[in-house]
Amino acid sequence: MFRKTLRNLKGLVTFSACTINTIICFLPVMVFALLKFAVPVRSFRNLMTRWIMVVGEAWIACNAWIFSLPNSTEWEFRGLEGLSRDRWYLVIANHQTWVDIVAMQTMLNRRVPFLKFFIKQELIWFPFLGLAWWAMDMPFMKRYTKSYLARHPEKKGKDLEATRKACEKFRDTPTSVINFIEGTRFTEEKRVKRGSTYDNLLPPRAGGVALALTSMGEMFDAVLDVTIVYPTGAANFWGMMCGEFDQVIIDVVSRPVDESLYNGDYQNDREFRRNFHQWLTRIWEEKDQKITAIRESACDQGV
C-alpha cells in the first residue's frame, strides 16, 4: 500500500509540473496568436508564427526534462542524420500508447519543425485546447461521410478544398505534419478483431495520409517513416508519470515524396487509390519486419 501511494504521489507531482509548464507556455502563445490575428501583414504574421513555434519547442523541452526526473529512460534514436528545421515533412508512425507522442516530440524537437496534427474541425470548440490548437496553426479537417455526400452531392470535394485552404499557411513556414495511420492504438485484441496480417501492427488506414498528401504533397520534402519500439513493453501515460518509462527505440527512414503520391483523386480514381494502397502496404510490411527484428535483437542482448 505504501509503495502504491508513493508511486501515485510521484505521478501527481510530475503531472502537476507538466500542467504548470503548459499554462506558463500557453500565455505567450495566445499573445503572439492574437497579435498575428490583429495585424494583417504577412511578414509580421510569419514572425509571430515562428515565435509561437519557439515557445512550443521550449514547452516540449521543458516537458522532456520533467519526465526525465522520475524516469531513467534509455533512449535510442536511429536515422536522424540529414533532418532539418528548414524543411517540410509528413511524419507517419505506428501507435501503441499515448507515450508515443511524448517520445516522438522528444526525439524530433528542434531537429524538424514543430509537429502538427490534423484535427477534426469540430474540436476547435473544445475548451482551452481548441484555442491552443488554433493558435499553433494545427490544420483543422472537415470530413464528410459517404451518407452525407449521398444526400448533399454538391458538397463533394469541399472537404479536401477546405483542408487545402487550411494548409496554405504552411507555405511560408517549414512544417511537420504527423499522422498515426493505424487510426488507433495497437493492442493484440484489436489486431485479431481487424484481421490484421501483421504481427505487430494494425492495418494502415490510408485516407488520412492520402488527404495530407493530396492537400500538401507538393510542399513536403520527405515522408519521415517512424517506427517506435518498446523492448520491455510500452508504458502507459500514467506509468510514465510515475517513473515506469524505461526504454524506447525509435527508427526513422526518410522517404521521397513522388508526384504520383499526391497528383490524383484518392476518392474517385480507383487506379490512383490502388497504387497509393500498394505504396503504403509496402511501407507497413517493412515496418512490421523491422519491429520484429528490433525486439529479437533486444532480447538477444538480454534487455
- Per-residue pLDDT tens over the stretch 192-237: 999 999 999 999 988 878 888 887 888 899 999 999 999 988 888 9
pLDDT score for 223: 95
Q: Which pLDDT value is given to residue 253?
A: 96
Query: What is the predicted pLDDT for the residue at 123?
Result: 72
For the chain, residues with pLDDT lower than 50 are none
Task: Supply the pLDDT for residue 109.
Answer: 95
Q: Where are the beta strands (DSSP E) in the chain?
A: 74-78, 89-93, 115-117, 119-120, 140-141, 176-180, 222-229, 247-255
Q: Which residue has the cell 533486444?
A: 298
**pLDDT for position 291:** 95
Domains of the chain: 72-300 (3.40.1130)
Amino acid 143: pLDDT? 65
Other Cβ atoms less than 10 A from the Cβ of 206: the count is: 17
- On the CB side of 210, CA atoms within 13 Å amount to 22
Supply the pLDDT for residue 132: 77
- Cβ contacts of 252 within 8 Å, gap of 6 or more: 77, 78, 79, 80, 83, 107, 224, 225, 226, 227
DSSP category for residue 205: -
Three-state SS at 163: helix
The grid coordinates listed for 189 are: 485484441
Question: What CA–CA distance (Å, rounded) separates 133 from 136?
Answer: 5
